[in-house]
Each structure stands twice: as C-alpha cells, then as structure tokens.
Chain A
Amino acid sequence: MIKSLDPRVTRAEIEIENPIAPLNELDQWETYEVFHQKKRGDQHMHVGIVHAPNAEMAFLFGKEQYGRRGFSVNIWVVKTRDVFASEYDDSDIFDTVPEKQYREAGGYKVMEKINKYKKGV
C-alpha cells in the first residue's frame, strides 16, 4: 500500500501513524556558534548556530550551513557554553545618562574645526 506520494517517506519506511518521538535532552549534540569572515582582514561576524559532536564537525556543518553560497573566506566555531553572555535582566547597564556631551564625538573641540572646514571658512 502506498503510504505517501513523497518518495522519501516510502524510502525511509516512516510510520505516519507513529511519528518519531522527540529526542531526550542528552541525545542532542551541543551547539556551536558560527562566525564567518567575508574577506581577509574583516571582522568575523556571527551568522548562526549548529549542533555538532566536536569542533571539527561544527566547522564542517558551519561551512555548508552558512558558507556554501561562497561569501566566506574563513569560519570560526565556538562552543555556545564557552560564551559568557550578559543577562537581559541587566540590560539597563547599557543605559546611560544623556547629559555627557564630552563622551560623544560631537563634543570634541575638533568638531568646530570640521564645521569651519565644511562651511569653507
């Protein structure tokens, strides 16, 4: 009896009535963060995550997941658990009191010179 028109279902002998049970937590490989570099000298940019049993395979997967369109010259992979991340609850540490012109580029005296130059004085 044909179970499905999708040839993959027949090939894999998948029981439609009995779907695959979800994996237990420890049955899954850990995750690696993937960074790629578009050209030599550029900063590496975070592009996504892969599951892998070790760094070498994380690289193999990262390359195909994120580098197969040919936009990368280099890839880094880092275990997710090795990344020390700030808490979103603490995101107020990035808030800052606005009255501090001296900390912004616009507050530098050199701006006067630049503005003068722009006006062609």
Chain B
Amino acid sequence: MNQTSSEAIKELLYKMADDLLIIGHRNSEWTGLGPILEEDISFSSMAQDKIGQAQALYQLLNDLGEQEPDTVAFTRNANQFHNAQLLELPNGEYDFSLVRHFLYDHADQLRFEALANSSYEPLAKVARKVKGELKYHVFHANTWMVKLGSANEESHNRMQAAFNEAWNYALGMFEKSSFEDQLIAEGVFEGEETLQEKWLANITPYLIKAGIEIPASTSWNPVFGGRIGNHTANLSPLVEEMSEVFRFDPTAEW
C-alpha cells in the first residue's frame, strides 16, 4: 500500500467509525426510556452493536498507525469527528430516531456490503463479520417504518414530518471524499455516488409500503460538512458526555 492510498483508507475508516460511534451513543440515550421494554432492549442492543462495529474500525486505524481506539474515540474535539451531521442530531421524539435509524442503517448496510469485496482485505474482513448484525438492524428499521408509516393518521404524519426533517441530512451522508477517484480506481470502495443510487433504490420500496413520500428532488439540498469536521452545535455536548469517564480516569475499565 503506498502512502497516498493509506491516507485515503484512513479517511474512509474515520468517517465510517465516527458515524457508528456517534449514532451508537445517540441511540443508547434511549436506554431506559424506550416506548416499551422490549423495544428499549432491542434498540439498546443495536446501539451496542454499533459501538462494537466502530471499535473494529478504530482498531484497523490503529493498525495503520493511528492511536488506540479508546484514545481516538474519547480524546478528540467535535471538529475532529468525520461523522455525517445526520447522526449527531438530537434524538427528538421516537419517530425521528426511527426515521434516522432507517435512513442511516440502509446506507451503512450497503456500504459494508460493497466493502466485503474491497481490495483492502482487513476492511473486507470486518465487513463480512458484521453482515448478520446489519441485516437485523435493517429488518428492525424496515418493520417500524412500514408499520408506523401506515398505522394511523397520527403515526403517518409524525413519520412523514420526521422524514422531511431528516432527508437533507441523510443526503449529507454521501458527501464525497477528496480521495474518491483513487478509492474507486484502486478497488477499495465503490464511491459515494454509486452508494447513494443503491440506497435510494433500496429504501424506496419500503417507503412506498409505508406511504411515506420522498421530497421532490428539486428541493434536495444535502447537508455536507460533517466529513471535514463541520458540525452542528449538538455534537460537542455529545462528545463531552461520551468521554466523561475517560477524561476523569483514562485507565478506568468499565
């Protein structure tokens, strides 16, 4: 692996790992507050899966010469994170959290699916390992989306409103990297544009079943910036809370 492609791979790993860590933490904020016990446990358990997936990617970064996973996760400032802004937004009501879960997890599953064939074998290996977890996460998201999108007027209106709110942020997940062409040429990753096309094709049938409408494409206005460290004011307090124990005692085990 030459110098440039190592930088390109690191950037890819950072944005994926940060997406997972931030959404993992956000979703874990529902623990103890979920709408019913069973859903609380399911959502929390998936949040733990996300943190575990993030850890696996931070480990790959560590193998490439970056710092230890915990150090990377807990000692950076908000502007050093590369997650899409969608994932740092506050949980809001459960409808928004479910819509974000649906939009993000579909993209995440497709990203890992493509990476299972990556020329960068360590990442391909992780991608193949998380396949089952992602399948369940997407199944969970689809079930809720279809059920609440079509259950009654209130649930439909709530899901549609949350969807409209999340949409441009969701498009922001596909912000292109400056290494885009290189990653594609070297067979590391298929690229954000292809990913977004596949994502749209995958979510559409569920949205039709749910009766949820995608905003007209003329109004699309992707919220970019997360990948280069531009974030909303919501990320800083999240990072602060997440790293509280680590900052208090870096050697603590929990």
Q: Which residues of A are in contact with B by a Cβ distance under 8 Å?
A: 7-8, 11-12, 29, 50-54, 56-57, 60-61, 63-65, 68
Contacts and interface: CB of A to CB of B under 8 A. Distances in A.
Contacts of B31: 8
Interface stretch (B33-41, B60-68, B166-174): B33-41
B147 A65 contact: no
Interface of B: 29, 31-33, 36-39, 41-42, 45-46, 136, 139-140, 143, 147, 241
A54 B147 contact: yes
A52 B241 CA distance: 33
A65 B143 contact: no
Nearest to B241: A7
A64 B39 CA distance: 9
B38 A8 contact: no
12 contacts: A8-B29, A8-B31, A11-B29, A50-B38, A51-B36, A51-B37, A57-B147, A60-B139, A61-B42, A64-B45, A65-B41, A68-B45
Nearest to B49: A68
Residue from A52, A54, A56, A60 with most neighbouring chain B CB atoms (10 Å): A60
A49 to B, nearest CB: 10
Given A29-B36, A61-B39, 6 more contacts: A54-B147, A60-B139, A60-B140, A61-B42, A64-B42, A64-B45
Contact of B38 (A12, A51, A54): A51
A60 B42 contact: yes
A57 B32 CA distance: 19
A71 B33 CA distance: 27
Given A53-B147, A57-B143, A57-B147, A64 B41 contact: yes
Nearest to B32: A8
Contacts of A52: 38
Given A7-B241, A56-B143, A68-B45, A63 B136 contact: yes
Nearest to A12: B33
A25 to B, nearest CB: 15
B38 A65 contact: yes
Contacts of A8: 29, 31-33
Contacts of A56: 143
